[in-house]
Amino acid sequence: MAAVEAAAEVRYADAAGLPAALRGADCLLVWDFLSRAVEPAFAAADRLGWLHIASTGVDNVLFPAMRQSDVLLTNSSGIFDGAIAEYVLGCVLAFAKDFRTTLTAQREKRWYHRETERIAGRRAVVVGTGPIGRAIARLLAAAGLQVTGVGRTARVADPDFVAVQASSDLHKCLGEADFVVAVAPLTDATAGMFDKAAFGAMKPTARFINVGRGGLVVTDDLVEALQGKVIAGAALDVFEIEPLPVRHPLWSLPNVLISPHMSGDFVGWLPALAELFVDNFGKWQAGMPLRNVVDKQLGYVPAR
């Protein structure tokens, strides 16, 4: 960030100091992507032209006043694609190879021979066909899975998916999947899309993996589906409430893998986020087009 500090007056602020820091500011870097401090401070942004957030998801800064403003919004798309894809493949393998039972038996010093599943030839449905969804599809396909995407519109010919189905056909697609991966952005159209009906449309042997946003899921419906064996398991990296409360039933379900919103956080991710912002700041100063411009009506960076 030294290059930015050398070229501009930089103000650092927490939530309480953000309104004062925004007065007269031309651009805002939201480093804490979980923070909701921007909305209550936004009225003080009297000359803001650009907001950059250090995450792929923009739902915490895409409140009505921001959406309706002329402020340009960019995100950190591209940083986390490969890491999240690796996490998803790891979850698929952990379920298929039953690593939880293996580790439990090892702790108990118990020789427990059994058979496990193959993943080659199995079907995965990736809900969300942006860059992260495509990275997931490529890695799962390389491991032998047949991967279908679910996006806004259907497409037969696609470089990364066997096919892309329209979101209106989601439930039909879910019924064909052995693994369902949620990576869609959180928008008005996607909030709560994985509800009781969606889980009911899945096979009882299906596993659900959420690396998108917690708000994509109706959590109580997921708990009910897991407890009732409507689906076979879930790997969850994101939740409606974070941190997940210690008394939440998801913690104690034997068919659930939980990680604390870290699926994309590889060694070196923070410098990578900073480098992306510095690069965009240089473009901003030079009057050049910025990377990762978000369509504020859609809620994500449109595919080119």
Please spell the DSSP secondary structure of 123-148, one letter per residue.
EEEEE--SHHHHHHHHHHHHTT-EEE
Q: Which of helix, strand or coil describes residue 50?
A: strand
From the list 115, 242, 275, 291, the catalytic residue is 242
The number of C-alpha atoms within 13 Å of 219 and in the hemisphere containing its C-beta is 17
State phi, psi for 219 to the nearest 5 degrees. -60, -40
Contact predicate 242/261, CB 8 Å: yes
Which tokens belong to 230?
Answer: 């409507």
From the list 261, 275, 291, 304, the catalytic residue is 261
242 belongs to the catalytic site = yes
138 belongs to the catalytic site = no
The number of C-alpha atoms within 13 Å of 174 and in the hemisphere containing its C-beta is 25
Contact predicate 293/73, CB 8 Å: yes
113 belongs to the catalytic site = no
From the list 52, 213, 275, 291, the catalytic residue is 213
Q: Which active-site residues does the annotation give?
A: 213, 242, 261
